[in-house]
Chain A
Amino acid sequence: MNHSHYPKDDSFRVSLNGRYRIANLWQGLFFSALVIAILSLVALLYNVVDGAFGYVAYEYKHAPSEFTAKPLDQLNKQELLELLKTNLSSGAYKKLDNDKPMGERSKSVLVTLVLERLFQIDTKQTWSMTDSILHSNDIKAEVADKYPKAILEFRSWLTPVFLTTPMSSKAEFAGVRTAILGSLWMVGIAILFALPIGTGAAIYLQEYADKNFINRIIQTNINNLAGVPSIVYGMLGLAIFVRTFEGFTSGSMFGVTDSNGRTVLSAGLTMGTLVLPLIIINAQEAIKAVPDSLRQAAFGVGATRWQTVWHHVLPNALPGILTGSILAVSRAIGETAPLIVVGASTFISVDPSGPFSKFTALPIQIYQWTTRAQSEFHSIAASAIIVLLILLLTLNATAVLLRNRVQRKY
């Protein structure tokens, strides 16, 4: 045998140790990438929560003492009503009463009205949660110095009232009720449109289609549609649903006259088009998972294609199809860009009442408030984000539960 060119045992061990050191170093680097990803998520969530709570310094334009001697929280409902009636102009009061009879409104809503209409809060400055906790004394000193008349209060911007109040031009009194309802309408229409068609397309592709040219094109096309930027779907919706089919989407075909094509119906159809490829692809996976032996059994007793699909394939694929549509719903709820293009209203305080309503949606409000300069709007944007994330978390948890509850039967 030739003289070996490999290192001798001891020097090999030394070099092996070197190789191990390099390996460990890199493993550490790979792991730190994962840590960065996790930290980003933590930072993102913390940043949102940080914005939704904290000190706020505000002044009243009109001192409470001008209206009532008692502190606001000690007034009962009757006194609050009296207060509003005597101090608001009769026209303004009547308008409020028309929107919703004053007597039916809850006490907390009336308190909010007094604050908004009579005392007129003027927010001077807000602080993040972290600052409020860590630098509490500095903030107090700063406020006492800069805004001697101001009241400093630790406040949660995310409150039950925030969820149930419509939009307002003042951050302190704005809520996400209109936006949540708009999102629900939009998603409802989207899923009503996309789920039957998407499931139908998936059944066609998995159960009926031969492997011919046209069906291969359809499959490739669906995969590509899933990758089209959402804003392009927005442009499609603008051109087709808002403009071309304006008669239908504005409701003028059905006698609705006060609307143009920028309705929640257009938005829902646009979003339905956007999630259609996702629904198809997920439904295809669910149908693929139904074992072939089941189809053969059905065909073996003389079932037609549709009888086999309807009685055996679909019932067994259903949990998978539903899981897929929940994921599609959560995609649709978070999408923003197509809604901007299709024309979500940026300011609207009336609940959507039907498919031909003008609308706003949760992500649209987040976008609007985030891009405002005043920090109190960032606080309500953060609160709206928390609402949105909780909504998404609930949906995804439902999907996971649904997926796990389907026992593997075969």
Chain B
Amino acid sequence: MQNNQPEIAIETKNLFIFYGSFAAVSEVNIKIEKQKVTAIIGPSGCGKSTLLRAFNRMNDFVPSSYVTGEILLQGQNLYSKNIDPVEVRRKIGMVFQKPNPFPKSIYENISWGAKINGFKGNMDELVEQSLRGAALWDEVKDKLKKSAYELSGGQQQRLCIARTIAIQPEIILMDEPASALDPISTLRIEELMQELKQNYTIIIVTHNMQQAARVSDYTAMMMLEKDGSRSGTVIEFSETKRIFTNPKDKRTEDYVTGRFG
């Protein structure tokens, strides 16, 4: 569906994220385009992961955390009272910083999420498709019954991606997915993201600016507020090309050219 008006997958409106009385992230207004890779970059401790986890309500598990403002998925605010967080996570999948496969077989790692979400089709087919989708099939097709812990770190992370796409989410969140991996595994994950965006919207947090430049279409630059409140916010959000070549904000320019700090 080619259209001049970009289609929006998810957007935040005046979003604040609090831990108790401390606003970890404040006033974020961004629109994430469908079937594109959007990177969130910024110095450590500026609330990148917190913002990412707000998209599928993983912050619910942090006691005393709450949000104000809205995150809209197809017009529905994810934080309104009648929204079920389990349904949200089913539609917005997540890949974590460190590979965290279940201590089960490779096959079960993928089938479990499908099973609990009521998948009724051919499970073998789903497992194969998901593994192919994560560019892992050829490496594991002969040892599906083996423990996922026998895979290398890079393979484990791709398994976690396969596990996520098996439940067919709308959006995939990736929290520094390659930070624990070697350069070759990192490259494979990055290539994979380019394929995945044919079907999925991807939001990735990375502390690696080169990676953001390589893989993303849009970039959100986060910084701590200047007022000394230790609260992070998005200071600039636009096409990645622009962020890296012609940023509007002086702080963005300093950061991407390495003069930050």
User: Which residue of the partner chain A has the closest CB to B53?
Assistant: A296
Knowing A301-B164, A302-B87 are in contact, say whether A296-B113 is a contact too (CB < 8 A).
no
Question: Residue A297 contacts which of B61, B96, B167 (CB distance < 8 angstroms)?
Answer: B96
Measured CA separation A299–B92 after assembly (Å): 11
Interface string of A193-214 (1 = CB under 8 A from B): 0000000000000000011000
Q: Are A294 and B58 in contact (CB under 8 A)?
A: no
Binary contact readout A297-317 vs B (1 if CB under 8 angstroms, 0 otherwise): 111111110010001100010
Whether A302 and B100, one on each chain, are in contact in the complex, defined by CB atoms closer than 8 angstroms, is no
- CB of A293 within 8 Å of the partner chain: yes
B66 to A: closest C-beta gap in Å: 13
Contact with A along B159-189 (1 / 0, CB 8 A): 0100110110000000000000000000000
The reply to whether B103 and A301 contact each other, CB–CB distance below 8 Å, is no
> Are B58 and A299 within 8 A (Cβ)?
yes
Residues of B close to A295: CB separation below 8 A: 61
Contacts of A316 in B (CB 8 A): 103
Main secondary structure of the interface of A (DSSP, over half): helix
Q: B31 in the interface, Cβ–Cβ < 8 Å?
A: no
Q: A187 CA to B95 CA in the complex, in Å?
A: 46
Min distance, Cβ B69 to any Cβ of chain A, angstroms? 23
> Are B112 and A311 neighbours in the complex by a CB distance under 8 Å?
yes
Q: Nearest chain A CB to B111's CB is how many angstroms away?
A: 11
Shortest distance from the beta carbon of B155 to any chain A beta carbon, whole Å: 16
Q: Is the CB of B160 within 8 A of A297?
A: yes
Q: Report the bound CA distance from A302 to B86 in whole Å.
A: 5
Tell me which residues across on chain B come within 8 A of A307, comparing CB atoms.
116
Q: Indicate if A410 sits at the interface (CB-CB under 8 A).
A: yes
With contacts A299-B61, A307-B116 known, is A409 near B102, CB below 8 A?
A: no
If A293-B100, A294-B100, A307-B116 touch, whether A300 touches B63 (CB-CB below 8 Å) is no
Q: A293-B96, A297-B96, A409-B149 are in contact. Are A302 and B103 (CB under 8 A)?
A: no
Q: Which chain A residue has the least Cβ–Cβ distance from B147?
A: A409
B101 partner residues in chain A, CB cutoff 8 A: 297
Pairwise interchain contact A211-B63, C-beta atoms closer than 8 A:
yes
B87 and A293 contact, CB distance less than 8 A = no
Asked if A301 contacts B98 (CB within 8 A), the reply is no
Report B68-108 CB contacts with A as 1/0, cut-off 8 Å: 00000000000000000011011101111010111100000
Q: Which among B87, B91, B96, B103 has the greatest number of chain A C-beta atoms within 10 A?
A: B103
Q: Please, which residue of chain A has its CB at the minimum distance from the CB of B114?
A: A301
A298 CA to B109 CA, complexed, in Å: 10
Contact between B89 and A301, CB atoms less than 8 A apart: yes
B56 within 8 A of A: yes
Determine the chain B residues whose CB is within 8 A of the CB of A304 once the complex forms.
86, 116
Partner of B102, one of A211, A297, A299: A297
Across-interface contacts of A293 in B (CB, < 8 A) = 96, 98, 100
A389 to B: closest C-beta gap in Å: 37
Among B58, B98, B113, B160, contact of A303 (Cβ-Cβ < 8 Å): B113
User: Which partner residue on chain B sits nearest A409 by CB separation?
Assistant: B103
Does B117 sit within 8 A of A, measured CB to CB? yes
A300 interface neighbour in B87, B93, B117, Cβ under 8 Å: B93
Contact B63 A210 (CB under 8 A): yes
Residues of B contacting A297 with CB < 8 Å? 96, 100-102, 160, 163
Residues of B with C-beta under 8 A to A211 = 63
Asked whether B102 lies within 8 Å of A296 as measured between CB atoms, the reply is no
Contacts of A301 in B (CB 8 A): 89-90, 93, 112-113, 116-117, 163-164, 166-167
Residues of B within 8 A of A302 (CB): 86-87, 89-91, 93, 113, 116-117, 167
Which chain A positions have C-beta within 8 A of B56?
A: 300
CB proximity to A under 8 Å, residues B19-62: 56, 58, 61
Within 8 A of A (CB), among B138-166: 149, 160, 163-164, 166
List, in ascending order, chain A residues with CB within 8 A of B90's CB: 301-302
Interface string of A395-410 (1 = CB under 8 A from B): 0000000000000011
For the complex, give the distance between the alpha carbons of A210 and B112 in Å.
28
Question: Bound state CA distance, A295 and B102, in angstroms?
Answer: 9
- Which chain A residue shows the least CB distance to B167? A301
Residues A296 and B86 in contact in the complex (CB < 8 Å), given A210-B63, A409-B149: no
- A210-B63, A307-B116 given; A296·B93 CB < 8 A: no
Interface string of A255-292 (1 = CB under 8 A from B): 00000000000000000000000000000000000010
Q: Point out the residues of chain B lying under 8 angstroms from A298, CB to CB.
A: 102, 112
Query: How far in angstroms is the closest Cβ of chain B from A302?
Result: 3
Closest to A302 in B: B90
Which residues of chain A have C-beta atoms less than 8 A from B58's C-beta? Answer: 296, 299-300
B157 CB to nearest chain A CB (Å): 12
Give A409 to B103 CA distance when docked, in angstroms. 8
**Complexed CA–CA distance, A260 and B160 (Å):** 61
B103 proximity list for chain A (CB < 8 A) = 294, 316, 409-410
Q: Which residues of A contact B (CB under 8 A)?
A: 210-211, 291, 293-304, 307, 311-312, 316, 409-410
A-B contact pairs, 27 of them (CB 8 A): A296-B58, A296-B61, A296-B96, A296-B100, A297-B100, A298-B102, A299-B61, A300-B56, A300-B95, A300-B96, A300-B164, A301-B113, A301-B117, A301-B166, A301-B167, A302-B86, A302-B87, A302-B116, A302-B117, A303-B86, A303-B116, A304-B86, A304-B116, A307-B116, A311-B116, A312-B102, A410-B103
**Closest 8 pairs (CB-CB, A-B):** A302-B90, A301-B113, A293-B100, A300-B94, A297-B100, A302-B89, A409-B103, A307-B116
Chain B residues within CB distance 8 Å of chain A: 56, 58, 61, 63, 86-87, 89-91, 93-96, 98, 100-103, 112-113, 116-117, 149, 160, 163-164, 166-167
Please give 6 more A-B residue pairs, beta carbons under 8 A apart, in addition to A297-B160, A300-B94.
A297-B163, A299-B58, A300-B164, A302-B91, A302-B113, A302-B167
